[in-house]
Chain A
Amino acid sequence: MRRLLASRLLQGIAVVWVVTTLTFVLLHLAPGDPYAFREGVPVAPEVLQHWRHVYCLDRPVSAQYVCYLRSVASGDLGYSLSQHRPVRDILIDYVPRTLELMFFGMLASFALGIALGVLEARRRGTFADWGSRGISLFFYSMPDFWLALMLALLFAYWLPIFPISGIENVIAAPTNSWWQRAGDHLRHLVLPVTTLMLMTCAGIARFQRAAMLDAMRLDFVVTARAKGVPEHAIAGHHVLRNALLPVITLAGITLPSLLGGAVLVELIFSWPGMGYITAMAVGSRDYALVTSSVLVTSVLVVLGTIAADVLYAIADPRVRAA
């Protein structure tokens, strides 16, 4: 197990390194000077010079690369021009909110996806099967921002049940009790999480369905039936426990698409997370911020994949013992 963890960590570091190199290449190839101010804010040339020196821009490319690697490794991700503060501080403020959204998004997607997959496998061929497959595919084919807009239209304008902006009701917050604030916060989570869930559950459901159908063919199912285990326990206990294993590996693959979806979802619902900031940075030539979000999201994906692998190793007794 420890060996697994070590090898995965090593692979993860390799991936992050490649991504860092990529962002460096992008920064280097991009037109324009990353440190030329555009908003008309006058800066003394000495300050600009100093900055260029700090970011090694006055040295050859290879030195710049090493410089860049070093600064990234030490946590210095540059200075955001649109927000006028170091990127690292911005990240500290905004990444946790995205993590929160990801957490609930993954939870909801997998819960619904697995449930649908089991349902579709058990009721294979019936209306429930292709009906739910059709509907989930329909949502899967939607652009995330459009789904978010339509949900906002439905549940905030036409049927004002859920709020569509922010993480809490800012006006009422100071006067609310802890309990009320938590509830309010949850209400604000509903629409963003629902959007993410609807989009992602199709892929998970399809995978789970196939895994269930494969597992149902296995011999131990016949044994269980011969023991007198009722059908619902066969599907829900014997088969599911085996079919869940491959789905865990799916977590590693859904994470990038979920994070990608989060960008636009956060924008539309004004959820103050990493994606929101990135989307807002779009028009502003804020090189540091935009490349940092590439880095940060890939790190999150790597960590998530490692977590999924470890979880799989724990869940499968054949791997655990090894």
Chain B
Amino acid sequence: MTAPLLSVRDLRTYFRTSAGIARAVDGVSFDIAANESVGVVGESGCGKSVTSLSLLRLIQPPGTIEPGSRIEFDGSDLLSLDDEAMRRIRGNRIAMIFQEPMTALNPVFTVGAQLAEVPRVHSRISRRDAWARAVEMLSVVGIPDPAERASSYPHQLSGGMRQRVMIGMALMLSPALLIADEPTTALDVTIQAQILELLGALREKTGMSVLLITHDLGVVAESTSRVIVMYAGEIVEQAAVRELFARPHHPYTEGLMTAMPRAGERRERLTVIPGTVPSPYAWPAACRFHERCPYAWERCEREAPPLYQIGEGHVSRCHLAVEPERRASPHLPLAARAGAGA
């Protein structure tokens, strides 16, 4: 088996503030192989964005990546690189696109200039050549009249076009890994589909790997081959996409799936997972999901579950793996009981 492109081991990113320590990412480990598309799913507050920012070491104080974490990319440990070496990797070997393209682009520079900036900060390329490559990239990402458009400002483009520009910026130097943090969340559904299609096509063309972060299971189903489910700063389940949808194991994943309304279904009410995401300043003891879980029993309040192997390439952080008979007796989760909060 070839070595994975990206290997994360026991990543911990903590924020130390006057309110305490927020353990946003608390022991996350996963691999991404070359030419693979992996999705990370979870509610807001589960730590998926912080994980992605940690990969590129974009975490600013008061957040720090704790010692003991390892992020290996293409053979080198990213956490031991000096600042300049890390800078050379950003935008070049690993690139990132963000959720809100209006604010993520600098409003006072043209899109062409922002695109051209990428090769210029990484190599000694002339302004003219960089601009030419920028225009070229604009056409690659499907923007009409690229030569003219390159001189526009971000506020003159539509949301979909701005996101295409972001993707273009990320791909200027053909990175081996693209991290996409909720790239379609701020867009219309129709544009969403276009962007995902674009990403898929580009991935096929360049062979790059993609880490797609989203809260939308639908997006994950379409665009990824493997899924990581995060909750409360940890990975709670990981599986190939088909396997996950066919046989979700962790109660949280189950909850996410049933909460997702499907076309053709007849339901009177939307199912929700009772309770709310806990605060990263105080993760619940033992299993972090036990207060919202319909299957929890006293073992769950006592003992934090490790990642159990469920099947081929399928892991789940749930004691149901060793006591599957408990699944037959669901009950009202603690968080849903009367008086247990708003």
Contacts and interface: CB of A to CB of B under 8 A. Distances in A.
Interface of A: 218-220, 222-230, 233, 238, 241-242, 245, 316-318, 321
A219 B92 CA distance: 20
Question: 10 tightest A-B contacts by CB?
Answer: A228-B91, A227-B91, A219-B103, A228-B90, A220-B106, A226-B96, A317-B153, A223-B104, A219-B104, A241-B108
6 contacts: A222-B58, A227-B90, A228-B90, A229-B91, A242-B108, A318-B155
B58 A218 contact: no
Contact of B92 (A224, A228, A230): A228
Contacts of B104: 219-220, 222-223
Name, among B100, B105, B166, the residue most crowded by chain A CB atoms within 10 Å (CB to CB): B105
Nearest to A322: B155
Contact of A228 (B87, B100, B153, B155): B87
Nearest to A320: B153
A107 B107 CA distance: 26
Query: Chain A interface secondary structure, helix, strand, loop or mixed?
Result: helix
Given A222-B104, A228-B121, A233-B121, A321 B98 contact: no
B56 interface: yes
Contacts of B100: 219
Given A227-B90, A227-B117, A317-B153, A242 B122 contact: no
A317 B121 contact: no
Contacts of A223: 98, 104-106, 166, 169
A238 B27 CA distance: 35
B152 to A, nearest CB: 9
B117 A229 contact: yes
A262 B98 CA distance: 50
Contacts of A224: 106, 117
B90 A225 contact: yes
B260 to A, nearest CB: 29
B58 A226 contact: yes
A316 B109 CA distance: 10
B88 interface: yes
B156 interface: yes
B108 A229 contact: no
A226 B169 CA distance: 10
Contacts of A219: 98, 100, 103-104
